[in-house]
Chains A and B, each alone.
Chain A
């Protein structure tokens, strides 16, 4: 096993620990950490943020949505070759807000690593970074083996908003951690290794060095399309479906959960006003 493979496997096996450490560090350094489920929620979040701060968005909410999808296509889409390797960051209203994608997150330093992004003038007022939860590395020194995989003319480590006395730099730094189906991959022993991917692009056809053989983190890139295409294995969904299955076999519990479920569905899909009463309630009342 190569070093990068070993370290990535270790991170994934202890992902909750390293995310918690990162969160604690970055928060202590003045950053904000937000957890979201997927691109949809990222778009909603950005929409809210821009509205709240009165930052005009050319192209409106739709363009934020498209950008969120580019930043967070999910790890599978990337491996299928369906997403750009280096999503462009988006800058709004002359530096009022910049939305970027992270290359790595470093737990011990509470640092966000961006590649290929020139900090430019004084930097944005609000810097938002979107990152999949799998991007964490334990320590700054791990970069000695990982940075060479992502060569870039500008590599930046953001460790918080501007400090007291600093004359420029973002006044706010917000890290958005996105699940985007990763927790399900994580729960599947056969597919967890896909999350080791660091998006170096070596395996993608048409890229320099492409060829599908020498993935630095030991992902079987030859068999990859197959593994992505195959119907999701049993383990997918794991405990969530076990809980779901339990509730669905207990009509009373199901009905009780109904109210909450409707609220949950509204959140999940952004459904407008779910009905106040379920069918079964309405039916019962109608039959009286």
Chain B
């Protein structure tokens, strides 16, 4: 029997980086899952939570709970949102919330730990800088199997940008290091950081493309 995963694309990917969501759906389908998208979903509540507005974060968290209460797995392309949901949902709701929290997975980690695939059969023939992974992100393990990918390393990812909460711009020094790395692409693990970086690169006039991990894994 095929297992079912429910996409939680996050508000950022939904509105600003839909290609990452579509790619994620494709990779999951190739890995043998039936993929569903619940249109009731909106946001995990993190923008409010990080700004210290717990009340609204909780209300939005409760909405998330209602939207996904009976989902088998909830898979999301954002480490930060996954962490938020895993940690905070239990505070916001009762038993159901605690159980759902345990079924929320960040996309790369889901592939490695639940689906148990590391080689998704992707081919991506470019030299690319890989954005530093946060937390338990398994992106680097998945990328190691991508054919044709030449990884270019950039030392020191300090100041790679933050959107919610107090926010933090991408450091110009980092942008310059990436610009000078000789890579044609940057692969991001996190949509919002990727978008901030994309903007900073464009502003600095570097012709480097930014793509989400899921998009690389979906390419053949």
Are A and B close enough to touch in the complex, i.e. CB under 8 Å?
Answer: yes
Min CB gap B195→A, angstroms: 6
Asked if A280 contacts B198 (CB within 8 A), the reply is: no
Complexed CA–CA distance, A241 and B43 (Å): 13
**Chain B residue nearest to A249 in the complex (CB):** B63
Min CB gap B160→A, angstroms: 15
If over half of A's interface residues share one DSSP class (helix, strand or loop), that class is named, otherwise mixed; here it is: helix
Complexed CA–CA distance, A269 and B202 (Å): 12
Complexed CA–CA distance, A255 and B196 (Å): 23
Query: Quick check: is B19 within 8 A (CB to CB) of the other chain?
Result: yes
CB contacts under 8 Å to B, within A256-288, are 258, 261-262, 265, 269-272, 274-275, 277-284, 286
Known: A242-B56, A248-B42. A274 touches B22 (CB 8 A): no
Contact of B39 among A251, A269, A277, A282 (CB under 8 A): A251
Asked if B52 contacts A251 (CB within 8 A), the reply is: no
Min CB gap B20→A, angstroms: 8
Complexed CA–CA distance, A275 and B41 (Å): 19
Type the 1/0 row for B26-38, where 1 means its CB is closer than 8 Å to any CB of A: 0000000000010
One of B8-16, B94-102, B110-118, B133-141 at the interface: B8-16
Which of chain A's residues have a CB closer than 8 A to the CB of B195?
269, 271
Asked if A248 contacts B52 (CB within 8 A), the reply is: no
**Which of B19, B22, B52, B54 has the most chain A CB atoms closer than 10 A to its own CB?**
B52
Asked if A248 contacts B43 (CB within 8 A), the reply is: yes
Asked if A278 contacts B18 (CB within 8 A), the reply is: yes
Type the 1/0 row for B188-204, where 1 means its CB is closer than 8 Å to any CB of A: 00000001101100110
Asked if A245 contacts B48 (CB within 8 A), the reply is: yes
Asked if A280 contacts B14 (CB within 8 A), the reply is: yes
Complexed CA–CA distance, A7 and B156 (Å): 48
If over half of B's interface residues share one DSSP class (helix, strand or loop), that class is named, otherwise mixed; here it is: helix
Asked if B54 contacts A234 (CB within 8 A), the reply is: yes
Query: Quick check: is B40 within 8 A (CB to CB) of the other chain?
Result: yes
Asked if A271 contacts B52 (CB within 8 A), the reply is: no
**Number of contact residues on A: which range applies?**
35 or more
Which of chain B's residues have a CB closer than 8 A to the CB of A234?
52-55
Complexed CA–CA distance, A241 and B47 (Å): 9
CB contacts under 8 Å to A, within B40-80, are 40-43, 45, 47-48, 51-57, 59-60, 63, 67
CB contacts under 8 Å to B, within A215-268, are 231-234, 236-237, 241-242, 244-245, 247-249, 251, 254-255, 258, 261-262, 265
Query: Quick check: is B17 within 8 A (CB to CB) of the other chain?
Result: yes
Which of chain B's residues have a CB closer than 8 A to the CB of A255?
39
**Chain B residue nearest to A255 in the complex (CB):** B39
Query: Quick check: is A214 within 8 A (CB to CB) of the other chain?
Result: no
Contact of A279 among B18, B55, B199 (CB under 8 A): B18
Which of chain A's residues have a CB closer than 8 A to the CB of B16?
262, 265, 271, 274-275
Complexed CA–CA distance, A17 and B37 (Å): 48
Which of chain B's residues have a CB closer than 8 A to the CB of A231?
52
Query: Quick check: is B172 within 8 A (CB to CB) of the other chain?
Result: yes
Asked if A236 contacts B52 (CB within 8 A), the reply is: yes
Which of chain A's residues have a CB closer than 8 A to the CB of B196?
269
Task: Sample 25 A-B pairs with CB under 8 A, ordered by A number.
Answer: A232-B52, A233-B52, A234-B53, A234-B54, A237-B53, A237-B56, A241-B51, A242-B56, A244-B48, A249-B59, A251-B41, A254-B11, A254-B42, A258-B14, A262-B15, A265-B15, A269-B196, A271-B16, A274-B16, A275-B17, A275-B18, A279-B13, A279-B22, A280-B9, A283-B37
Question: Told that A40-B169, A247-B42 touch, could you supply 19 new A-B pairs with CB distance under 8 A?
Answer: A234-B52, A234-B55, A241-B47, A241-B48, A241-B51, A242-B56, A245-B55, A248-B42, A251-B67, A274-B16, A275-B16, A275-B17, A279-B15, A279-B21, A279-B22, A279-B37, A280-B9, A283-B25, A286-B22
* For the complex of A and B, 9 pairs with smallest distance between CB atoms: A232-B52, A245-B56, A279-B18, A279-B21, A241-B53, A249-B63, A279-B14, A237-B53, A241-B56
A residues sitting closer than 8 Å to B (CB atoms) are: 40, 61-62, 231-234, 236-237, 241-242, 244-245, 247-249, 251, 254-255, 258, 261-262, 265, 269-272, 274-275, 277-284, 286
